[in-house]
Amino acid sequence: MWDERYSTDDYVYGTEPNAFLAEQLAWLPAGGRILTLAEGEGRNAVFLAEQGYQVTGLDASAVGLRKAAQLAKQRGVNVRLSVTDLAEADLGKACWDGVVSIFAHLPPDLRCSVHRRVVYALKPGGVLLLEAYTPAQLGRGTGGPPEAAMMMTAAILRKELSGLEFLLLRECEREIIEGHGHTGTGAVVQAIARKP
Ligand SMILES: C[S@@+](CC[C@H](N)C(=O)[O-])C[C@H]1O[C@@H](n2cnc3c(N)ncnc32)[C@H](O)[C@@H]1O
């Protein structure tokens, strides 16, 4: 489904970074190794590389990551990209200074398993930065998956990411104009959480 969605010349979520990531970037240890989950067409990985991070982006869509590689080339940065299904991904142990998860909507069992692996994979002092739609987004028609089960809430994140210390955890509404995939006011949960 995602390969089909990305099979267009334009970038579905644009080529500019997610606004929450750009705003909260300073939480990610400077120059560190960052893993981006469900990277899509590369806008966030390329932005992070431009800011001096060493970035690895994972996504199941080969078409999305081909566009990500193209974007990195255009912008003159290096990004490691891997076509990977998160259901099968070994995210490593205590090896990332940061993990970035932007609109990485997955079925709940898989999401929970990925979140447990993220906690394990962060270095002590490493930071997770996450934004996702909440079920309050349903029916708005401005982006996000069609099912509440694929969305996240602050309570879900607190539970699935236990072991991390939350520096910011909030549900809010914000204007999300990011490509033609995200087109207006959205209900989101935002988190910054650090591994002690
Ligand atoms: C809403 S898009 C977000 C893309 C990107 N994070 C952004 O904000 O521009 C969701 C992404 O999740 C990826 N995805 C969905 N299921 C996945 C899985 N099991 N493993 C890896 N990636 C997956 C899709 O290919 C898609 O690129």
Per residue in 15-72, pLDDT (tens digit) is: 999 999 999 999 999 999 999 999 999 999 999 999 999 999 999 999 999 999 999 9
pLDDT of residue 180: 77
Distances, alpha carbon 52 to alpha carbons 42, 62, 79, 117, in Å: 16, 25, 11, 25
* Atom 14 of ligand 1: nearest residue by CA position: 38
pLDDT of residue 177: 80
* Core vs surface per residue 50-61: b (16+ CB within 10 A) or e: ebebebbbbbbb
pLDDT of residue 93: 98
**Is the CB–ligand 1 distance for residue 102 below 6 Å?**
yes
**Is the CB–ligand 1 distance for residue 43 below 6 Å?**
yes
pLDDT below 50 — which residues of the chain?
Answer: none
pLDDT of residue 15: 97
**Is the CB–ligand 1 distance for residue 67 below 6 Å?**
no
pLDDT of residue 165: 98
- State the pTM of this model: 0.97
